[in-house]
Amino acid sequence: MTLERKLSREQIAERAAQELPDGAYVNLGWGIPNLIAAYVPEKAGVIFHSENGILGMGPRARPGEEDYDLVDAMKAPVTILPGGAYFSQVDAHMMTRGGHLDVAVLGGLQVSERGDLANWKVPGAKFSGGIGGAMDIAVGSRRLIITMEHVTKNGEPKIVKTCTYPLTALQCVTTIVTDLAVIDVVPGGLQLREVAPGVSPEDVQRVTEPKLAIAARTPEMRLRAQ
């Protein structure tokens, strides 16, 4: 049922983009997070950080204008905006681990009710790509938003009581944005903040392992195109 009503990856990104305050310094991870920048208006003055040593990262390079010395952490040719800066990887991670980024948005495989995150390896997989910068980013960002599908391909909850996948960091997640809901990690557990259009709080609870705190009225997400 809910699987039919779920938002697209682009819509999850659009909703997550609304979480970024004007002027925020933000790191975006692989997957859905990488779609977010397209939904952030230029006038918001959000400044994107890439852990390979860029601040003020702009959109992907247009075809024919790629410069392979100017790539993001996903190896994709990007651009730099006026006011941007280059620095070394060690300085880039000084920014992540040192608490200098206002928000990071990462993909997730599992999030626990305490805000633990697992996002870098499926159990039993011989090789994931590796850890990369995820652990430093998860530990250090002032706010950590996880964007992901609410359930696995087999319909199993990804928001769980305890992560069973290899962990990225403990008690690091602030907010989860999925195709069904926006959920905040608060003292004592998880608070449902918004539901996707046409989805009820009960629908969300049904595919979420831990018990959600649900207010008398839960607003629907506002999205540009539904």
Interaction of residue 96 with other proteins, rule CB under 8 A: yes
Q: What are phi and psi of 218, to 5 degrees?
A: -110, 120
Helix (H, G, I), strand (E, B) or coil at 67: coil
Which entry of 14, 19, 51, 149 is annotated as an active-site residue? 51
Window 55-94: contact mask with other proteins (x via CB under 8 A): xx----------xxxxxxxxx----x-xxxxxxxxxxxxx
Alpha helices, H only, the chain: 2-5, 9-17, 89-97, 134-140, 201-206
Please choose, from the candidates 122, 221, 131, 132, the residue with its C-alpha nearest in 3D space to the C-alpha of residue 178: 221
Return the number of the residue (56 or 157) whose C-beta is nearest other proteins. Answer: 56
Active-site annotation holds for 4: no
Residue 135 binds other proteins (CB under 8 A):
yes
Residue 137 or 192: the one with the smaller Cβ distance to other proteins is 137
Burial readout 18-29 (b: 16 or more C-beta within 10 A, e: otherwise): ebbeeebbbbbb
Smaller CB separation from other proteins, 80 or 223 = 80
Min CB(51)–other proteins separation in Å = 7
**6 near other proteins, rule: CB under 8 A:** no
Active site residues: 51
